Chains A and B, each alone.
Chain A
Amino acid sequence: MALDLAQLPKTEAQDSRHRALIQGSHLTKIYATSTGPLVALDDVSFDIREGEFVSLVGPSGCGKSTLLSLLGGLEERSEGTLTLNGQDLDRPRPDIGFMLQTAVLFPWRSVMENIRLPGAILGLDRKAQAERCQELLELVGLAGFGDRYPNELSGGMRQRVALARLLAHDPDVLLMDEPFGALDEFTRETMNLELLRIWSATGKTVVFVTHNIGEAVFLSDRVFVMTPRPGRLAGVVEIDLPRPRQTEMMREPRYSELVFDIRHMLGVD
Protein backbone atom coordinates (compact mmCIF):
# COMPACT_ATOMS: atom_id res chain seq x y z
CA MET A 1 0.00 0.00 0.00
CA ALA A 2 2.86 2.38 0.84
CA LEU A 3 4.25 1.72 -2.62
CA ASP A 4 1.00 2.86 -4.25
CA LEU A 5 0.91 6.06 -2.26
CA ALA A 6 4.46 6.81 -3.32
CA GLN A 7 3.43 6.54 -6.97
CA LEU A 8 0.77 9.21 -6.60
CA PRO A 9 1.76 12.87 -7.06
CA LYS A 10 3.39 14.48 -4.05
CA THR A 11 1.90 17.18 -1.88
CA GLU A 12 2.24 20.68 -3.26
CA ALA A 13 5.02 22.82 -1.87
CA GLN A 14 4.13 24.39 1.45
CA ASP A 15 3.95 27.99 0.18
CA SER A 16 1.50 27.20 -2.63
CA ARG A 17 -0.89 25.81 -0.06
CA HIS A 18 -1.76 29.27 1.15
CA ARG A 19 -2.68 30.65 -2.24
CA ALA A 20 -6.40 31.13 -2.76
CA LEU A 21 -7.44 28.62 -5.41
CA ILE A 22 -11.18 29.18 -5.43
CA GLN A 23 -12.69 32.57 -4.73
CA GLY A 24 -16.38 33.23 -4.27
CA SER A 25 -17.86 36.61 -3.55
CA HIS A 26 -21.46 37.63 -2.94
CA LEU A 27 -22.62 34.27 -4.28
CA THR A 28 -26.39 34.04 -4.39
CA LYS A 29 -28.62 31.31 -5.72
CA ILE A 30 -32.35 31.78 -6.03
CA TYR A 31 -34.68 29.04 -7.24
CA ALA A 32 -38.05 29.81 -8.74
CA THR A 33 -40.57 27.49 -7.08
CA SER A 34 -44.33 27.19 -7.32
CA THR A 35 -44.64 28.95 -3.96
CA GLY A 36 -42.41 31.85 -5.01
CA PRO A 37 -38.65 32.46 -5.10
CA LEU A 38 -36.51 30.38 -2.74
CA VAL A 39 -33.19 31.89 -1.65
CA ALA A 40 -30.98 28.82 -1.33
CA LEU A 41 -27.76 30.78 -0.94
CA ASP A 42 -27.61 34.40 0.16
CA ASP A 43 -24.56 36.62 -0.39
CA VAL A 44 -21.84 34.10 0.47
CA SER A 45 -18.16 35.10 0.13
CA PHE A 46 -15.11 32.91 0.81
CA ASP A 47 -11.66 31.75 -0.29
CA ILE A 48 -10.52 28.17 -0.57
CA ARG A 49 -6.76 27.67 -0.57
CA GLU A 50 -4.86 25.20 -2.66
CA GLY A 51 -4.42 21.84 -0.92
CA GLU A 52 -6.85 22.79 1.80
CA PHE A 53 -9.47 20.51 3.37
CA VAL A 54 -12.63 22.54 3.85
CA SER A 55 -15.93 21.26 5.25
CA LEU A 56 -19.31 22.85 4.72
CA VAL A 57 -21.45 22.08 7.74
CA GLY A 58 -25.00 23.00 8.59
CA PRO A 59 -28.55 21.67 8.82
CA SER A 60 -30.72 20.70 5.84
CA GLY A 61 -31.63 23.67 3.68
CA CYS A 62 -28.55 25.74 4.59
CA GLY A 63 -27.43 25.72 0.97
CA LYS A 64 -24.33 23.57 1.42
CA SER A 65 -25.22 21.23 -1.42
CA THR A 66 -26.20 24.21 -3.58
CA LEU A 67 -22.81 25.80 -2.91
CA LEU A 68 -21.09 22.54 -3.82
CA SER A 69 -23.06 22.34 -7.09
CA LEU A 70 -21.98 25.90 -7.90
CA LEU A 71 -18.36 24.98 -7.17
CA GLY A 72 -18.74 22.03 -9.53
CA GLY A 73 -20.11 24.29 -12.25
CA LEU A 74 -23.26 22.16 -12.26
CA GLU A 75 -25.65 25.02 -11.58
CA GLU A 76 -25.88 28.63 -12.65
CA ARG A 77 -25.48 31.22 -9.93
CA SER A 78 -28.02 34.02 -9.66
CA GLU A 79 -25.54 36.66 -8.48
CA GLY A 80 -21.93 37.07 -7.44
CA THR A 81 -18.63 35.84 -8.82
CA LEU A 82 -16.91 32.49 -8.53
CA THR A 83 -13.44 31.77 -9.90
CA LEU A 84 -10.91 28.96 -9.92
CA ASN A 85 -7.36 30.17 -10.48
CA GLY A 86 -8.89 33.45 -11.58
CA GLN A 87 -11.01 31.79 -14.28
CA ASP A 88 -14.78 32.05 -14.16
CA LEU A 89 -16.22 28.83 -12.74
CA ASP A 90 -19.50 28.46 -14.57
CA ARG A 91 -19.33 24.99 -16.07
CA PRO A 92 -18.07 21.51 -15.13
CA ARG A 93 -14.32 21.07 -15.52
CA PRO A 94 -12.23 17.90 -15.69
CA ASP A 95 -9.90 19.20 -12.95
CA ILE A 96 -12.82 19.25 -10.50
CA GLY A 97 -14.14 15.88 -9.35
CA PHE A 98 -17.58 15.32 -7.82
CA MET A 99 -18.61 12.58 -5.39
CA LEU A 100 -22.16 12.02 -4.14
CA GLN A 101 -23.82 10.40 -1.17
CA THR A 102 -24.76 7.41 -3.29
CA ALA A 103 -21.98 5.70 -5.22
CA VAL A 104 -23.80 6.03 -8.59
CA LEU A 105 -22.01 3.03 -10.08
CA PHE A 106 -23.24 1.71 -13.41
CA PRO A 107 -24.43 -1.87 -12.81
CA TRP A 108 -23.56 -2.92 -16.37
CA ARG A 109 -19.91 -1.99 -15.89
CA SER A 110 -17.54 -4.02 -13.75
CA VAL A 111 -15.80 -2.34 -10.82
CA MET A 112 -12.74 -1.67 -12.98
CA GLU A 113 -14.85 -0.39 -15.87
CA ASN A 114 -16.62 1.97 -13.48
CA ILE A 115 -13.33 3.36 -12.25
CA ARG A 116 -12.22 3.79 -15.85
CA LEU A 117 -15.35 5.76 -16.81
CA PRO A 118 -13.80 9.23 -16.32
CA GLY A 119 -10.78 8.24 -18.40
CA ALA A 120 -13.05 6.92 -21.16
CA ILE A 121 -15.12 10.12 -21.21
CA LEU A 122 -12.11 12.43 -21.12
CA GLY A 123 -10.27 10.33 -23.71
CA LEU A 124 -7.23 9.77 -21.50
CA ASP A 125 -4.44 7.42 -22.54
CA ARG A 126 -5.77 3.89 -22.11
CA LYS A 127 -2.56 2.27 -21.01
CA ALA A 128 -1.77 4.89 -18.39
CA GLN A 129 -5.38 4.74 -17.17
CA ALA A 130 -5.30 0.96 -16.88
CA GLU A 131 -2.22 1.22 -14.67
CA ARG A 132 -3.50 4.15 -12.63
CA CYS A 133 -6.92 2.61 -12.04
CA GLN A 134 -5.35 -0.65 -10.93
CA GLU A 135 -3.31 1.33 -8.38
CA LEU A 136 -6.40 3.21 -7.24
CA LEU A 137 -8.27 -0.06 -6.82
CA GLU A 138 -5.50 -1.21 -4.49
CA LEU A 139 -5.43 2.19 -2.79
CA VAL A 140 -9.08 1.90 -1.76
CA GLY A 141 -8.51 -1.68 -0.61
CA LEU A 142 -10.37 -3.46 -3.38
CA ALA A 143 -7.50 -5.26 -5.12
CA GLY A 144 -8.94 -8.41 -6.67
CA PHE A 145 -12.44 -6.96 -6.98
CA GLY A 146 -11.91 -5.31 -10.38
CA ASP A 147 -13.92 -7.91 -12.29
CA ARG A 148 -16.84 -7.92 -9.88
CA TYR A 149 -20.06 -6.02 -10.60
CA PRO A 150 -21.55 -3.30 -8.35
CA ASN A 151 -24.56 -5.46 -7.43
CA GLU A 152 -22.16 -7.90 -5.79
CA LEU A 153 -20.66 -5.28 -3.46
CA SER A 154 -21.64 -3.93 -0.04
CA GLY A 155 -22.49 -0.26 0.49
CA GLY A 156 -19.05 0.52 1.89
CA MET A 157 -17.29 -1.22 -0.99
CA ARG A 158 -19.37 0.73 -3.51
CA GLN A 159 -18.34 4.03 -1.94
CA ARG A 160 -14.73 2.85 -2.16
CA VAL A 161 -15.21 2.28 -5.86
CA ALA A 162 -16.77 5.74 -6.17
CA LEU A 163 -13.74 7.17 -4.34
CA ALA A 164 -11.37 5.43 -6.75
CA ARG A 165 -13.42 6.70 -9.71
CA LEU A 166 -13.27 10.22 -8.25
CA LEU A 167 -9.48 10.05 -8.38
CA ALA A 168 -9.22 8.27 -11.74
CA HIS A 169 -8.63 11.34 -13.88
CA ASP A 170 -6.57 13.00 -11.14
CA PRO A 171 -8.69 16.13 -10.55
CA ASP A 172 -7.08 18.85 -8.41
CA VAL A 173 -10.27 19.70 -6.54
CA LEU A 174 -12.50 17.08 -4.92
CA LEU A 175 -16.07 18.10 -4.19
CA MET A 176 -17.71 15.58 -1.88
CA ASP A 177 -21.41 15.80 -1.03
CA GLU A 178 -21.88 13.75 2.15
CA PRO A 179 -19.91 10.95 0.49
CA PHE A 180 -20.11 8.55 3.43
CA GLY A 181 -23.40 9.78 4.84
CA ALA A 182 -25.30 6.64 3.86
CA LEU A 183 -22.78 4.31 5.49
CA ASP A 184 -22.87 2.93 9.01
CA GLU A 185 -20.83 4.68 11.71
CA PHE A 186 -17.91 2.21 11.70
CA THR A 187 -17.53 2.09 7.94
CA ARG A 188 -17.78 5.86 7.79
CA GLU A 189 -14.94 6.33 10.27
CA THR A 190 -12.75 3.97 8.30
CA MET A 191 -13.56 5.77 5.07
CA ASN A 192 -12.80 9.15 6.66
CA LEU A 193 -9.39 7.96 7.78
CA GLU A 194 -8.70 6.62 4.29
CA LEU A 195 -9.80 9.87 2.75
CA LEU A 196 -7.37 11.77 5.00
CA ARG A 197 -4.60 9.36 4.09
CA ILE A 198 -5.25 9.84 0.37
CA TRP A 199 -5.64 13.59 0.76
CA SER A 200 -2.34 13.99 2.60
CA ALA A 201 -0.58 11.84 0.03
CA THR A 202 -1.94 13.67 -3.02
CA GLY A 203 -2.25 17.29 -1.89
CA LYS A 204 -5.65 17.75 -3.42
CA THR A 205 -8.05 20.50 -2.44
CA VAL A 206 -11.13 19.00 -0.80
CA VAL A 207 -14.52 20.59 -0.20
CA PHE A 208 -16.52 18.21 1.95
CA VAL A 209 -20.22 18.63 2.73
CA THR A 210 -21.57 17.07 5.92
CA HIS A 211 -24.18 17.66 8.59
CA ASN A 212 -22.00 15.89 11.14
CA ILE A 213 -20.08 18.55 13.10
CA GLY A 214 -17.66 16.06 14.68
CA GLU A 215 -16.78 14.66 11.27
CA ALA A 216 -16.19 18.17 9.91
CA VAL A 217 -13.86 19.08 12.79
CA PHE A 218 -11.98 15.79 12.61
CA LEU A 219 -11.28 16.06 8.88
CA SER A 220 -10.85 19.74 8.09
CA ASP A 221 -8.39 22.60 8.05
CA ARG A 222 -11.32 25.01 8.13
CA VAL A 223 -15.04 24.51 8.64
CA PHE A 224 -17.54 26.77 6.90
CA VAL A 225 -20.56 26.97 9.18
CA MET A 226 -23.79 27.57 7.30
CA THR A 227 -27.27 28.47 8.52
CA PRO A 228 -30.59 27.93 6.71
CA ARG A 229 -33.44 30.05 5.33
CA PRO A 230 -31.81 31.79 3.59
CA GLY A 231 -28.55 29.83 3.26
CA ARG A 232 -25.81 32.00 4.75
CA LEU A 233 -22.21 31.55 5.79
CA ALA A 234 -22.43 32.16 9.56
CA GLY A 235 -18.69 31.89 10.10
CA VAL A 236 -15.46 30.07 9.34
CA VAL A 237 -13.73 28.03 12.05
CA GLU A 238 -10.00 27.29 11.81
CA ILE A 239 -9.31 23.77 13.04
CA ASP A 240 -5.93 23.93 14.76
CA LEU A 241 -5.74 20.25 15.68
CA PRO A 242 -2.39 18.75 14.65
CA ARG A 243 -2.04 16.48 11.65
CA PRO A 244 -2.07 13.60 10.95
CA ARG A 245 -5.40 13.30 12.66
CA GLN A 246 -6.15 10.19 14.67
CA THR A 247 -9.38 8.94 16.18
CA GLU A 248 -7.93 9.44 19.69
CA MET A 249 -8.05 13.20 19.09
CA MET A 250 -11.78 13.10 19.59
CA ARG A 251 -11.01 12.70 23.30
CA GLU A 252 -9.06 15.95 23.49
CA PRO A 253 -10.63 19.03 25.06
CA ARG A 254 -9.67 21.16 22.02
CA TYR A 255 -11.73 18.88 19.77
CA SER A 256 -14.82 19.23 21.98
CA GLU A 257 -14.24 22.96 22.23
CA LEU A 258 -14.26 23.34 18.45
CA VAL A 259 -17.34 21.15 18.12
CA PHE A 260 -19.15 23.27 20.71
CA ASP A 261 -18.01 26.52 19.04
CA ILE A 262 -19.62 25.35 15.82
CA ARG A 263 -22.74 24.17 17.62
CA HIS A 264 -22.98 27.59 19.15
CA MET A 265 -22.66 29.29 15.74
CA LEU A 266 -25.45 27.07 14.44
CA GLY A 267 -27.55 28.03 17.44
CA VAL A 268 -28.15 24.46 18.57
CA ASP A 269 -27.12 25.11 22.19
Chain B
Amino acid sequence: MNERGFGYIADMLVFALLLSTATLLLARVSPVDPRADSTRHAVIFAQSTLLSLQNTTADQFGGFEYEFRVSELGLSMTGGSARRELRHKTITQLLAEDALLNLRVEAGGTDLTLPQPNRDMNEEFKGFLKSALDRMIGGRFGYRLRARTEPIDLEFVRVHFETGIEDLAQARTQLCSETVMLSLPTSQEELTRRIEEMLGIDLFGQDLEVDPIIEMTLELWSR
Protein backbone atom coordinates (compact mmCIF):
# COMPACT_ATOMS: atom_id res chain seq x y z
CA MET B 1 0.00 0.00 0.00
CA ASN B 2 1.45 3.36 -0.93
CA GLU B 3 1.55 6.53 1.19
CA ARG B 4 -1.69 7.90 -0.24
CA GLY B 5 -3.52 4.69 0.78
CA PHE B 6 -2.30 5.08 4.38
CA GLY B 7 -3.38 8.72 4.25
CA TYR B 8 -6.94 7.76 3.25
CA ILE B 9 -7.17 5.21 6.03
CA ALA B 10 -5.80 7.64 8.63
CA ASP B 11 -8.31 10.33 7.53
CA MET B 12 -11.19 7.92 7.65
CA LEU B 13 -10.15 6.54 11.03
CA VAL B 14 -10.18 10.07 12.45
CA PHE B 15 -13.60 10.59 10.84
CA ALA B 16 -14.83 7.31 12.33
CA LEU B 17 -13.52 8.32 15.74
CA LEU B 18 -15.50 11.57 15.54
CA LEU B 19 -18.64 9.67 14.53
CA SER B 20 -18.16 7.20 17.40
CA THR B 21 -17.87 10.05 19.87
CA ALA B 22 -21.05 11.63 18.51
CA THR B 23 -22.87 8.29 18.68
CA LEU B 24 -21.76 7.66 22.24
CA LEU B 25 -22.77 11.15 23.30
CA LEU B 26 -26.23 10.71 21.77
CA ALA B 27 -26.65 7.33 23.40
CA ARG B 28 -25.63 8.61 26.83
CA VAL B 29 -27.46 11.92 26.84
CA SER B 30 -31.05 11.16 27.72
CA PRO B 31 -33.58 13.66 26.36
CA VAL B 32 -35.76 13.17 29.43
CA ASP B 33 -35.36 12.90 33.15
CA PRO B 34 -37.09 9.61 34.06
CA ARG B 35 -37.37 10.76 37.67
CA ALA B 36 -39.43 13.81 36.63
CA ASP B 37 -41.87 11.57 34.75
CA SER B 38 -42.18 9.17 37.70
CA THR B 39 -42.72 12.05 40.11
CA ARG B 40 -45.49 13.57 38.00
CA HIS B 41 -47.13 10.16 37.62
CA ALA B 42 -46.89 9.59 41.38
CA VAL B 43 -48.44 13.00 42.18
CA ILE B 44 -51.47 12.38 39.94
CA PHE B 45 -51.76 8.79 41.17
CA ALA B 46 -51.68 9.90 44.83
CA GLN B 47 -54.34 12.57 44.21
CA SER B 48 -56.55 9.99 42.50
CA THR B 49 -56.07 7.56 45.38
CA LEU B 50 -57.04 10.19 47.96
CA LEU B 51 -60.09 11.19 45.91
CA SER B 52 -61.11 7.54 45.58
CA LEU B 53 -60.82 7.04 49.34
CA GLN B 54 -63.24 9.95 49.78
CA ASN B 55 -65.79 8.54 47.36
CA THR B 56 -65.63 4.77 47.81
CA THR B 57 -67.65 3.01 50.49
CA ALA B 58 -66.31 0.21 52.68
CA ASP B 59 -68.71 -2.09 50.86
CA GLN B 60 -66.31 -2.09 47.89
CA PHE B 61 -63.74 -3.86 50.03
CA GLY B 62 -66.03 -6.39 51.64
CA GLY B 63 -67.45 -4.09 54.34
CA PHE B 64 -66.17 -2.96 57.71
CA GLU B 65 -67.38 -3.93 61.16
CA TYR B 66 -66.04 -4.12 64.68
CA GLU B 67 -67.03 -5.03 68.20
CA PHE B 68 -68.14 -2.19 70.45
CA ARG B 69 -66.69 -2.90 73.93
CA VAL B 70 -69.64 -2.39 76.17
CA SER B 71 -67.63 -3.68 79.14
CA GLU B 72 -65.36 -0.62 78.95
CA LEU B 73 -68.35 1.44 80.05
CA GLY B 74 -69.11 -0.89 82.94
CA LEU B 75 -72.19 -2.28 81.19
CA SER B 76 -73.10 -5.76 80.06
CA MET B 77 -75.00 -6.83 76.99
CA THR B 78 -76.56 -10.10 76.00
CA GLY B 79 -76.26 -11.44 72.46
CA GLY B 80 -74.09 -10.02 69.71
CA SER B 81 -75.78 -6.67 69.29
CA ALA B 82 -72.59 -4.74 70.18
CA ARG B 83 -71.19 -5.33 66.70
CA ARG B 84 -71.15 -2.17 64.58
CA GLU B 85 -71.51 -2.66 60.87
CA LEU B 86 -70.35 0.31 58.78
CA ARG B 87 -70.23 -0.89 55.18
CA HIS B 88 -72.22 2.14 53.92
CA LYS B 89 -69.59 4.71 55.01
CA THR B 90 -66.81 5.98 52.79
CA ILE B 91 -63.26 5.18 53.81
CA THR B 92 -62.50 8.76 54.82
CA GLN B 93 -65.73 8.91 56.85
CA LEU B 94 -64.52 5.82 58.71
CA LEU B 95 -61.15 7.45 59.27
CA ALA B 96 -62.76 10.61 60.66
CA GLU B 97 -65.00 8.54 62.92
CA ASP B 98 -62.01 6.51 64.11
CA ALA B 99 -60.21 9.76 64.96
CA LEU B 100 -63.15 11.14 66.87
CA LEU B 101 -63.83 7.95 68.83
CA ASN B 102 -60.22 7.13 69.59
CA LEU B 103 -58.62 10.41 70.58
CA ARG B 104 -55.44 9.75 72.53
CA VAL B 105 -54.60 11.52 75.74
CA GLU B 106 -50.93 11.91 76.60
CA ALA B 107 -49.39 13.13 79.83
CA GLY B 108 -45.64 13.56 79.97
CA GLY B 109 -45.19 11.62 76.74
CA THR B 110 -47.15 8.58 78.02
CA ASP B 111 -50.57 7.49 76.79
CA LEU B 112 -53.20 7.60 79.54
CA THR B 113 -55.47 4.59 79.73
CA LEU B 114 -59.04 5.79 79.47
CA PRO B 115 -62.16 3.76 78.72
CA GLN B 116 -62.24 3.32 74.95
CA PRO B 117 -65.21 1.21 73.90
CA ASN B 118 -64.31 1.77 70.23
CA ARG B 119 -60.69 0.67 70.60
CA ASP B 120 -61.23 -2.29 68.27
CA MET B 121 -62.25 0.09 65.51
CA ASN B 122 -58.80 1.61 65.49
CA GLU B 123 -56.99 -1.73 65.13
CA GLU B 124 -59.38 -3.25 62.63
CA PHE B 125 -59.58 -0.10 60.56
CA LYS B 126 -55.80 -0.09 60.10
CA GLY B 127 -55.93 -3.58 58.61
CA PHE B 128 -58.92 -2.65 56.48
CA LEU B 129 -57.24 0.49 55.16
CA LYS B 130 -54.06 -1.42 54.36
CA SER B 131 -55.90 -4.01 52.30
CA ALA B 132 -57.82 -1.23 50.50
CA LEU B 133 -54.61 0.65 49.64
CA ASP B 134 -52.84 -2.55 48.60
CA ARG B 135 -55.60 -3.14 46.07
CA MET B 136 -55.72 0.46 44.83
CA ILE B 137 -51.98 0.99 44.51
CA GLY B 138 -51.39 -2.59 43.47
CA GLY B 139 -47.63 -2.78 43.96
CA ARG B 140 -46.91 0.11 41.58
CA PHE B 141 -45.43 2.22 44.35
CA GLY B 142 -44.39 1.87 47.96
CA TYR B 143 -46.67 3.97 50.17
CA ARG B 144 -47.12 5.53 53.59
CA LEU B 145 -50.43 6.98 54.73
CA ARG B 146 -50.63 9.13 57.83
CA ALA B 147 -53.64 10.74 59.42
CA ARG B 148 -53.45 13.13 62.32
CA THR B 149 -55.37 15.85 64.07
CA GLU B 150 -53.85 19.07 65.32
CA PRO B 151 -52.78 18.34 68.93
CA ILE B 152 -54.71 20.15 71.64
CA ASP B 153 -52.24 21.15 74.32
CA LEU B 154 -53.70 21.66 77.76
CA GLU B 155 -51.69 22.52 80.86
CA PHE B 156 -50.99 18.93 81.81
CA VAL B 157 -52.16 16.75 78.92
CA ARG B 158 -52.12 16.62 75.18
CA VAL B 159 -55.12 15.33 73.21
CA HIS B 160 -54.62 14.16 69.66
CA PHE B 161 -55.18 11.38 67.14
CA GLU B 162 -52.56 9.86 64.92
CA THR B 163 -52.54 6.72 62.85
CA GLY B 164 -50.49 5.42 59.96
CA ILE B 165 -49.97 2.46 57.71
CA GLU B 166 -47.26 1.78 55.20
CA ASP B 167 -45.86 -0.69 52.75
CA LEU B 168 -42.32 0.41 52.00
CA ALA B 169 -40.93 -3.00 51.10
CA GLN B 170 -38.30 -2.49 48.37
CA ALA B 171 -39.07 1.25 48.37
CA ARG B 172 -36.17 3.40 47.20
CA THR B 173 -36.95 7.12 47.09
CA GLN B 174 -39.92 9.23 48.04
CA LEU B 175 -41.63 10.57 44.91
CA CYS B 176 -44.39 12.70 46.34
CA SER B 177 -46.47 13.59 49.36
CA GLU B 178 -50.09 14.70 48.91
CA THR B 179 -52.33 15.94 51.71
CA VAL B 180 -56.07 16.45 52.12
CA MET B 181 -57.87 18.02 55.04
CA LEU B 182 -61.05 16.32 56.21
CA SER B 183 -63.69 17.60 58.59
CA LEU B 184 -64.42 15.54 61.65
CA PRO B 185 -68.15 14.79 61.93
CA THR B 186 -68.55 17.15 64.86
CA SER B 187 -68.59 20.84 65.70
CA GLN B 188 -65.94 22.71 67.68
CA GLU B 189 -68.25 22.89 70.74
CA GLU B 190 -69.09 19.19 70.62
CA LEU B 191 -65.44 18.27 70.35
CA THR B 192 -64.59 20.48 73.35
CA ARG B 193 -67.42 18.85 75.33
CA ARG B 194 -66.14 15.40 74.35
CA ILE B 195 -62.63 16.23 75.58
CA GLU B 196 -64.12 17.56 78.84
CA GLU B 197 -65.99 14.26 79.30
CA MET B 198 -62.89 12.21 78.54
CA LEU B 199 -60.71 14.10 80.98
CA GLY B 200 -63.41 14.83 83.54
CA ILE B 201 -62.50 18.52 83.71
CA ASP B 202 -64.13 21.81 82.82
CA LEU B 203 -62.37 23.62 80.01
CA PHE B 204 -64.53 26.73 80.36
CA GLY B 205 -62.39 29.84 80.50
CA GLN B 206 -59.38 28.18 78.88
CA ASP B 207 -58.27 29.74 75.65
CA LEU B 208 -58.71 26.53 73.69
CA GLU B 209 -58.21 26.28 69.94
CA VAL B 210 -59.96 23.07 68.97
CA ASP B 211 -59.96 22.45 65.25
CA PRO B 212 -62.22 19.57 64.20
CA ILE B 213 -60.06 18.73 61.19
CA ILE B 214 -58.01 15.69 60.32
CA GLU B 215 -55.05 15.85 57.97
CA MET B 216 -54.47 12.82 55.73
CA THR B 217 -51.14 12.54 53.91
CA LEU B 218 -50.23 9.93 51.34
CA GLU B 219 -46.58 9.48 50.35
CA LEU B 220 -45.66 7.40 47.32
CA TRP B 221 -42.21 5.86 46.94
CA SER B 222 -40.51 4.40 43.90
CA ARG B 223 -39.79 0.66 43.77
A-B interaction: no
- A: residues with CB less than 8 A from B are none
